[in-house]
Structure 1
Amino acid sequence: MEEHDIIIVGAGPAGLTAGIYAGREGLKAMIIDKGVKGGNANMAPVIANFPGYKSIPGLELLKNIGNQAEKYIYIREYEEIVEIQKKTDTITLKTDKDNYRTKSLIICSGTTYRKLGVPGEDKYIGKGISYCSICDGMLFKGRDVLVIGGGNSAVTHALHLKDIGVNVKIVHRRDELRAQKYLQDKLHEVGIPIIWNSVVKEIKGDIFLKSVIVHNRETDVDEELEVSGLFLAVGEKPNSDIASNMGVNVDEMGYIITDKNQKTNITNVYAAGDITGGVKQLVVACGEGAVAAVNAYEELKIVE
């Protein structure tokens, strides 16, 4: 069984930054991710608030961070953690490929995109339904699509789709958006229509998505809209089940509770990034990853 000083769960912005800091301290450290490095941030069409860049696609930024991390730490992609156990001073991780032991653990497992939970949704994921405009947007150039949601992600996706020549509208369940003001201003500037007080009730098609039933919550009227694509941005669910099963405290929403040093209630177990809730921004995730790694290193030095 491989032994490590620090194992980091998740290769998103927080996990990669933690890896850079842990690796630079000369620790035997490793990152494990059930998917590809970069996490959800890979799907951000444009990032315009990360220091050092006026504007950069999420995929490019995370590739840069990932390449830097790989200079200092080994990253195991497509390996899913099945169970984590804490026994005295040792933490054991069981994955679908191997078993590992570590002195410290940093959980940066992030979040999973929420679904709408309506008929037809599962059938058309990848066949008209997408969570990533930068990945799939060009497939819909010149075609009609809807973006579902009212936060920063929804508006950012809509703006990107408009920019590449997609005919896009936003569907939002309320009468005002939650997105930051500068995004809303840009939205109005480019003239993207918004279908207010409405929700998707059903998704229809044959092999591919063809139309959606949109329900107006104010008028109680259903309308079928012919569209080729649906981009979902309706929130995220924290990936904290493995952590809570090992005894890590989470809040009522399922986000891991930490102190200012990113420590959880369990000794030598830290958490960073979107999994901790709060302000979900790339720069915050990176900062929390750095804080977690530095404090994990300091704790290991004290023990030695």
Structure 2
Amino acid sequence: MAKDKQYDVVIIGAGPAGMTAATYASRANLSVLMLDRGIYGGQMNNTAEVENYPGFDSILGPDLSEKMYASSTRFGAEYGFGTVESIEIDGHNKIINTDMGRYIAKTIIIATGSEHVHLGTDGEEDYQGRGVSYCAVCDGAFFRDEDVVVVGGGDSAIEEGLYLTNLARSVTILHRRDSLRAQKIIQDRAFANDKMSFRWHTEVIEITGDSDKVTGVRVIDNQTHEVSQINTSGVFVYVGLKPNTQGFENLDITNDDGWVITDEQMRTAIPGIFAVGDVRAKELRQITTAVGDGSIAGQGVYDYISALPVAVNEPVN
């Protein structure tokens, strides 16, 4: 059996928080592995334009991902693929079991982020990839000059709806409330866009289609209880997020909703395990706050390792 690879820090997740943590930890001359089950960048890769990141009036999400990745690996941090199945604590060491092998680290930074909540309605899973999408940037081009609906009323729903107006013939926002939750500047743009319309107090009860693709949605007005049909070829869903904490359940570091609990130094209840970014229990989940979390944790792991007993804190190959 191959010898387990050992690191000072294993960062689970390579979104903006994880990549920033890798930059800080590797600059401190720690051996660092960023471990992700997909491509680096996380949800930035699904974002058309980022307009609230300092230093850029506007930048494409994938472009910002590339820039952050270049910085995060500049000082020797490694990047690897794998899905974490469990974590074990062995004294000062943490054992990370993945579907691609096992790693040992003095510290762990959990940066696994979150993913989109599904509606749970009839037809959603059947038509996923055939008209149901959770990423306008990824799939919007398939609906050029067609009528689409966006389900949700927060920042992501309205921003991605605005992006779709560049491609689709029309975009209808379906929202269960009577007002949007998105930031006012985003709302103003949406209300001023001739291609966007809004259906209030509206909930999707079924996604309908033929054998190949979506053809419409059945909706209900949650005030009048009237049921109606909206013809559409695309349904883009943005109704919330859930944390990616699979593989960490045994650690008892999450709240009842699954978000990881930390202090202001990004430390969890387990010494040597930190958490950053969207997986944390916090109010604001943005690229800027993820980057802030990552920098604090990157410095935090250095401080933690520096304080370990000399016999434990030998250089890791």
| Band the TM-score falls in, shorter-chain normalisation | over 0.9
CA contact (8 A) 2:151 2:236 kept: yes
Q: Distance in 2 between matches of 1:244 and 1:98?
A: 19
**What is the match of residue 264 of structure 1?**
268
**What is the match of residue 230 of structure 1?**
235
**What is the match of residue 51 of structure 1?**
54
Q: 1:208 aligned to 2:213?
A: yes
Q: CA RMSD in A?
A: 1.1
- List per-residue Cα deviations over 1:69-118 (Å, max 9, x = no partner): 232311113x1111101121110011001001000000001112110001
Q: Distance in 2 between matches of 1:283 and 1:40?
A: 13
Q: 1:280 aligned to 2:285?
A: yes
Aligned-pair CA distance for 1:140: 0.8
Aligned residues: 302
**Alignment partner for residue 162 of structure 1, among 162, 165, 173?**
165
**What is the match of residue 104 of structure 2?**
101
**What is the match of residue 195 of structure 1?**
199
Query: Which amino acid counterpart does residue 224 of structure 2 have in structure 1?
Result: T
Q: 1:220 aligned to 2:220?
A: no
SS in 2 for 1:163: coil
**Alignment partner for residue 181 of structure 2, among 171, 178, 181?**
178
**What is the match of residue 313 of structure 2?**
none
Q: Distance in 1 between matches of 2:193 and 2:166?
A: 9
SS in 2 for 1:52: coil
Query: Which amino acid counterpart does residue 74 of structure 1 have in structure 2?
Result: E
Q: Distance in 1 between matches of 2:244 and 2:169?
A: 32
Structure 2 gap segments, 5+ residues each:
311-317
CA contact (8 A) 1:85 1:93 kept: yes
CA contact (8 A) 1:18 1:289 kept: yes
Q: Give identity over the alignment, percent.
A: 34
SS in 1 for 2:9: strand
SS in 1 for 2:229: strand
CA contact (8 A) 2:148 2:168 kept: no
CA contact (8 A) 1:10 1:108 kept: yes
Aligned-pair CA distance for 1:165: 4.2
Query: Which amino acid counterpart does residue 244 of structure 2 have in structure 1?
Result: N
* Aligned 1:24-63 pairs, distance under 5 A: 24-63=27-66
SS in 1 for 2:192: helix
Structure 1 gap segments, 5+ residues each:
none
SS in 1 for 2:165: helix
Aligned-pair CA distance for 1:62: 1.1
Query: Which amino acid counterpart does residue 234 of structure 1 have in structure 2?
Result: V
CA contact (8 A) 1:41 1:59 kept: yes
Q: Distance in 1 between matches of 2:135 and 2:108?
A: 30
TM-score normalised by structure 2 residue count: 0.93
Q: Distance in 1 between matches of 2:240 and 2:39?
A: 21
CA contact (8 A) 1:247 1:266 kept: no
Q: 1:242 aligned to 2:247?
A: yes
Q: Distance in 2 between matches of 1:166 and 1:86?
A: 54
Tell which deviates more after alignment, 14-23 or 60-69. Answer: 60-69
Q: Distance in 1 between matches of 2:30 and 2:289?
A: 24
Query: Which amino acid counterpart does residue 225 of structure 1 have in structure 2?
Result: I
**What is the match of residue 125 of structure 1?**
128
- List per-residue Cα deviations over 1:5-30 (Å, max 9, x = no partner): 00000011101111111111111110
Tell which deviates more after alignment, 66-75 or 138-147. Answer: 66-75
SS in 1 for 2:247: helix
Q: Distance in 1 between matches of 2:170 and 2:60?
A: 21
CA contact (8 A) 2:147 2:168 kept: no
CA contact (8 A) 1:86 1:246 kept: no
Q: 1:115 aligned to 2:139?
A: no
